């Protein structure tokens, strides 16, 4: 009897010590094994760094609010959406580029980004800046799968692919650059036909991922493209208003894309496909920036903020806002939001994204 009483308080003590640790470990446990990403500069963490292309961001002032103030190739002052998402999923703090020279096995096991700034669903979009097209990224993905099999074996690799979200962020450059800014595709397509062409390409890309084993797929729509600083400068007139033609194109693309994805979700057995509504969230930030603490929603922080991006947003760019004022800006450069804006956007879309991973 004496021994039982003496052991019992000891057990209670051990439980009290270990329970918070167990709870803490459960909270840190990843929701899914990995995150795998395809797309353009919104989610490119540095895959273009070694390419001879203007579509790079591995120089100051990019990354000035990143850890170590390092310009990694991310098109922002700090983290980009996929860094925030991979952290929310409790996988790791940052999502590395697949082409990083120092990539290790654990990086591959927990996910990478194949995204390339300047790319799109249209192969022509990637050809002009000489970057990796979506289909090039798909080839990288096939190579990644082979590496995964070499690390953990075929069965475990298939499980990682099956259970991990595959995220696609694309279409921005196709609509803005290839169709409107350069007018290259206007020679062969009217706008509805080109939108149909892009949506078909997106649909085929999702089908390709399915054939390669992906079962959790999220595809982001495009934001109000007519309201990014560069669009306002190019087509917004003296007052730099939002360009409604660009926004209408974005809306049409999003509508057709969401319809196709909804049908794919039915047609592709055992697959969960989610459309991410970026447009409404970003438009709310633009129209009601003051509600979120933004003082400037029509210009970027870098340079004049009216058009500069990539190589034109550099450490010699005049008029770049002080580091202490970056938080006031919705946009970092002529096209890309600041880290603070990205965090607000992803937080607002979190419930949509989590539909992909909740059993």
Query: Exposed, middle or buried, 158 (CB in 10 Å: 0-12/13-18/19+)?
Result: middle
The distance from CA 285 to its chain's CA centroid, rounded to whole angstroms, is 18
Q: Which helix (H) or strand (E) holds 126?
A: helix 123-127
**What is the C-alpha to C-alpha distance for residues 307 and 284, in angstroms, rounded to an integer?**
22
**What is the C-alpha to C-alpha distance for residues 341 and 80, in angstroms, rounded to an integer?**
10
265 is catalytic: no
Catalytic residue among 44, 65, 133, 336: 336
Report whether 317 contacts 303 (CB < 8 A).
Answer: yes
Catalytic residue among 40, 41, 65, 170: 41
Catalytic residue among 40, 107, 174, 333: 333
Q: Which helix (H) or strand (E) holds 37?
A: strand 36-39
113 is catalytic: no
User: What is the DSSP code (8-state) at residue 31?
Assistant: S
Q: Read out DSSP for 301-342? A: SSTTSSS--GGGSSTT-TTPPPGGGGGGEEESSSS-B-HHHH
Give the three-state DSSP class for 226. helix
Query: Interior CA angle at 181 toward 177 and 186, to 5°?
Result: 90
44 is catalytic: no
Q: Which residues are catalytic?
A: 41, 333, 336
């Amino acid at each position: 009897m004496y021994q039982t009483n003496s052991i019992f308080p000891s057990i209670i003590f051990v439980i009290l010590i270990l329970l918070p640790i167990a709870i803490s470990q459960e909270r840190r446990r990843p929701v899914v094994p990995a995150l795998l990403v395809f797309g353009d500069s919104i989610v490119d963490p540095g895959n273009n760094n070694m390419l001879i292309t203007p579509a790079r961001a591995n120089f100051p002032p990019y990354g000035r609010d990143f850890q170590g103030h390092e310009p990694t190739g991310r098109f922002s002052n700090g983290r980009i959406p996929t860094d925030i998402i991979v952290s929310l999923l409790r996988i790791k703090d940052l999502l590395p580029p697949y082409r990083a020279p120092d990539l290790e096995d654990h990086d591959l096991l927990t996910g990478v980004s194949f995204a390339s700034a300047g790319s799109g669903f249209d192969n022509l979009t990637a050809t002009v800046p000489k970057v990796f097209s979506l289909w090039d990224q798909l080839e990288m993905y096939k190579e990644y799968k082979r590496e995964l099999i070499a690390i953990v074996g075929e069965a475990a690799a298939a499980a990682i692919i099956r259970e991990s979200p595959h995220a696609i962020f694309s279409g921005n450059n196709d609509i803005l650059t290839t169709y409107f800014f350069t007018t290259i595709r206007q020679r062969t397509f009217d706008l509805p036909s080109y939108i149909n062409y892009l949506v078909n390409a997106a649909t085929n890309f999702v089908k390709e991922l399915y054939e390669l084993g992906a079962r959790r797929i999220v595809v982001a729509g495009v934001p109000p493209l007519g309201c990014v600083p560069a669009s306002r400068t190019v087509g917004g007139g003296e007052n730099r208003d939002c360009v409604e033609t660009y926004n209408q194109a974005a809306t049409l693309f999003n509508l057709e894309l969401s319809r196709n994805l909804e049908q794919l979700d039915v047609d592709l057995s055992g697959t969960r496909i989610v459309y991410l509504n970026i447009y409404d969230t970003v438009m709310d930030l633009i129209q009601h920036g003051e509600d979120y603490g933004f003082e400037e929603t029509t210009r970027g922080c870098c340079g004049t903020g009216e058009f500069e991006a990539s190589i034109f947003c550099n450490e010699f760019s005049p008029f770049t806002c002080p580091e202490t004022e970056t938080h006031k800006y919705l946009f970092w450069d002529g096209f890309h939001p600041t880290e603070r804006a990205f965090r607000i956007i992803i937080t607002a879309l979190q419930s949509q994204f989590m539909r992909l991973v909740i059993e």
